[in-house]
Chains A and B, each alone.
Chain A
Amino acid sequence: GEKVEQHESTLSVREGDSAVINCTYTDTASSYFPWYKQEAGKSLHFVIDIRSNVDRKQSQRLIVLLDKKAKRFSLHITATQPEDSAIYFCAAKGSNYNVLYFGSGTKLTVEP
């Protein structure tokens, strides 16, 4: 099955700087790549996604890039704010469309 690797387990940035979280996947048939945010002690919430027919998507301060050749995708958070502090999970849905596979999570800390 699909394996999603999330490269940064922790990431610390200063408020106002950009944060980048990188993920790779293994299934060449993967076509859907969402990102989820989990604040401390809470559940997961969808933040942004990208489909394989595009290589870039932006929603306000969030940018997702997809490099299908390298089987790599990344989340860029610009102008970070303390409320961006959370664990971010990347995910991929591949040839087994019944399953969304998640990475191991990146704990982002935005320091004032």
Chain B
Amino acid sequence: DPKIIQKPKYLVAVTGSEKILICEQYLGHNAMYWYRQSAKKPLEFMFSYSYQKLMDNQTASSRFQPQSSKKNHLDLQITALKPDDSATYFCASSQSTANTGQLYFGEGSKLTVL
């Protein structure tokens, strides 16, 4: 059974629209992350959260907004979509950001922006 659930698995959007990517983890972890994988940047860190607080943001654009309504949720809202946003977005979690434990990744949400 997948312990990190990402929805939807695939989505297609038109330029200028808005989408929300859902992520829930059932590992009891306190830290959650978003990474983006595209042909240009194979695995790019976006955000890290610990106990629902933003710890690091390395996404240049404010069009990307993480939202954590519960400790085991970290959704990603993307507004004013551009074709360059096309990528697979991976949610991940770990016990905490501070320790050196492994990351667990979800199956990804593949976004195509037309």
Distance in angstroms from B79 CB to nearest chain A CB is: 24
**A98 at interface, CB cutoff 8 A:** yes
B-contact bits for A1-40, CB 8 A (1 contact / 0 none): 1000000000000000000000000000001101010000
Query: Do A46 and B102 touch (CB < 8 A)?
Result: yes
- Taken together as a complex, chains A and B put the C-alpha atoms of A20 and B45 apart, in Å, by 25
B contacts, CB < 8 Å to A: 33, 35, 42-43, 45, 48, 50, 55-56, 58, 90, 97-98, 100, 102-108
Query: Do B45 and A99 touch (CB < 8 A)?
Result: yes
Query: Do A98 and B106 touch (CB < 8 A)?
Result: no
Query: Do A105 and B108 touch (CB < 8 A)?
Result: no
Query: Do B102 and A44 touch (CB < 8 A)?
Result: no
Distance in angstroms from A35 CB to nearest chain B CB is: 10
In the complex, what residue of chain A is closest to B48 when comparing beta carbons? Answer: A98
A contacts, CB < 8 Å to B: 1, 31-32, 34, 36, 42-46, 49, 51, 89, 93, 96-105
Task: Tell me which residues across on chain A come within 8 A of B100, comparing CB atoms.
Answer: 31-32, 49, 51, 93
Task: Tell me which residues across on chain A come within 8 A of B97, comparing CB atoms.
Answer: 97-98
- Taken together as a complex, chains A and B put the C-alpha atoms of A34 and B50 apart, in Å, by 20
Task: Tell me which residues across on chain B come within 8 A of A105, comparing CB atoms.
Answer: 42-43
Which single member of A43, A46, A93 contacts B108 (CB below 8 Å)? A43
- Taken together as a complex, chains A and B put the C-alpha atoms of A107 and B22 apart, in Å, by 29
Query: Do B43 and A89 touch (CB < 8 A)?
Result: yes
- Taken together as a complex, chains A and B put the C-alpha atoms of A97 and B100 apart, in Å, by 8
In the complex, what residue of chain B is closest to A45 when comparing beta carbons? Answer: B105
Query: Do A102 and B102 touch (CB < 8 A)?
Result: no
Task: Tell me which residues across on chain A come within 8 A of B42, comparing CB atoms.
Answer: 89, 102-105
- Taken together as a complex, chains A and B put the C-alpha atoms of A103 and B42 apart, in Å, by 8
- Taken together as a complex, chains A and B put the C-alpha atoms of A71 and B30 apart, in Å, by 30
In the complex, what residue of chain A is closest to B35 when comparing beta carbons? Answer: A102
Distance in angstroms from A107 CB to nearest chain B CB is: 10
- Taken together as a complex, chains A and B put the C-alpha atoms of A105 and B102 apart, in Å, by 18
Distance in angstroms from A27 CB to nearest chain B CB is: 14
